[in-house]
Amino acid sequence: MCNEVLKKAINSVLNSKMSFCKFLTANDTGATGGHQVGILISKSASDMMFTKTELCSGSIVKKTVKINWQDSMQTESCFTYYQSKNELRITRFGRGFPFLVPEETGSLFVFTKLEDDYFNGYFLETEDEIDSFLDTFNISPTETNRLITSKGILQSEREKEVIYDFIRGLTVDFPPSEEMSTAAREIENTLYNHKEHIISNPDNKIISWTNMEFELFRSLEHVRYGSIISNGFNSVDEFVEMANTVLNRRKSRAGKSLEHHLSAIFDGNQIRYTSQAVTEGKKKPDFIFPSEDAYHDLDFPVNKLVSLAAKTTCKDRWRQVINEADRLRNGNKYLCTLQQGISETQINEMEREKVILVVPKPYISSYPRSKQSKIWTLSQFVNFVKEKENI
């Protein structure tokens, strides 16, 4: 269900001059214990905040603007550019500002420009809100911390050529999600020739594959729907039907993407596993290592079994993984996510339930500093399972 803040954030993006989104990191919310102030903004959004002349006017450049937050409160805030750090920040929120607190780590910050000195800001706190927003604009969690555009990541001519060769060869409008994921990996591996990273750098590989799949899907949507949208609709009902079809397909594909790419990482490392194994009743962990048969063999040592859940975002849904495998109830459960930051309180809850986060290495710095050493990289998890399986 689309709540009011989510609706307002989506509408603001659609009606803005420019827009930006990012996951709030521990540094933004003060959860690192550092002395940074305000929300760090990617340099990719500099044109949204300053003119080029303004950026060159001094070592520290400041600009006062009005920001309407959640459509419920307004501040006179400050854009600050630190030339020495090559860094942009939004600062000056006033006393009692309720959103830059450690508990907000991992929320999605949506920022839109209405006029040169007037902006809207929204904080989407739940996974349903975050996923709905990202699905609406077909943005991968790996593509945040940048301007929101209809074109996604800028493609090279070679990338466009390979993607459209794939699309021209399709015999269906939209292939199954597993086929899309496979095609994305093949295209990325062909274009950038780093297939060895499956073993040597799985953390970067999972991000690269995810980005490529979103690019492939966006391109396919453009081919399939571009002319229909350009020609307009005969009725509101026709438009709503088309919009729902597009959004439902996006949600369905995005939900399986991470799981497909993890399977490819495990296959490339010769790891044994069963995906969507049935443990007890209707329980289905995303992955059981080394196999479903081993799990149900009561003579197989419990300490040689491992479960892994795959969830693109995990602010709320991480609790779903706690009881997915009864034989492992007293041991660690592992959760791989593309989420960039969650609060220390949530990680403490995970620790109490013996849930260990597995996060691509580049994203670990977005988590509270006190917890970063407890979070596993994907490479660390792969090596852990290899050791269990004597590979």
Per-residue model confidence as pLDDT tens for the chain (391 residues): 358 899 999 999 989 999 999 999 988 887 554 445 789 999 889 999 998 888 887 788 899 999 999 988 999 999 999 887 888 999 999 888 888 888 899 999 999 999 989 999 999 999 889 988 988 888 888 889 889 875 544 456 778 788 889 899 989 988 999 999 999 999 998 888 788 899 999 999 999 999 999 889 888 888 888 777 777 777 778 877 877 788 877 877 777 899 999 999 999 999 999 999 999 999 999 999 999 999 999 999 999 999 999 999 888 889 989 999 999 999 999 999 999 989 899 999 999 999 999 999 999 999 998 999 999 999 999 999 999 999 8
295 in active site: yes
* Short-list 303, 302, 321, 301, CA closest to 311: 321
**Residue 243 CB neighbours (<10 A):** 12
Instruction: Outline which parts of the chain fall under CATH 2.40.330.10.
Output: 4-137
| Class for the domain spanning 274-388 | alpha beta
Pick one of 2.30.30.240, 2.40.330.10, 3.40.50.300, 3.40.640.10 as the CATH number of 4-137: 2.40.330.10
* Nearby residues of 362 by Cβ (< 8 Å), 6 or more positions away: 203, 204, 207
Q: Does domain 157-268 have CATH number 3.40.91.80?
A: yes
Residue tagged active-site, from 295, 334, 363, 367? 295
Would you say 167 and 219 are in contact if contact means Cβ atoms under 8 Å apart?
yes
Instruction: Outline which parts of the chain fall under CATH 3.40.91.80.
Output: 157-268, 274-388
Read off the DSSP letter of residue 190: H
Using DSSP's 3-state secondary structure scheme, residue 202 falls into helix
- Which H or E run contains 283? none
pLDDT, tens digit (0-9, with 9 covering 90-100), for 121-153 = 999 999 889 988 988 888 888 889 889 875 544
pLDDT, tens digit (0-9, with 9 covering 90-100), for 37-69 = 789 999 889 999 998 888 887 788 899 999 999
Report yes or no on whether pTM surpasses 0.85: no
Would you say 145 and 39 are in contact if contact means Cβ atoms under 8 Å apart?
no
* Short-list 140, 141, 103, 142, CA closest to 125: 103
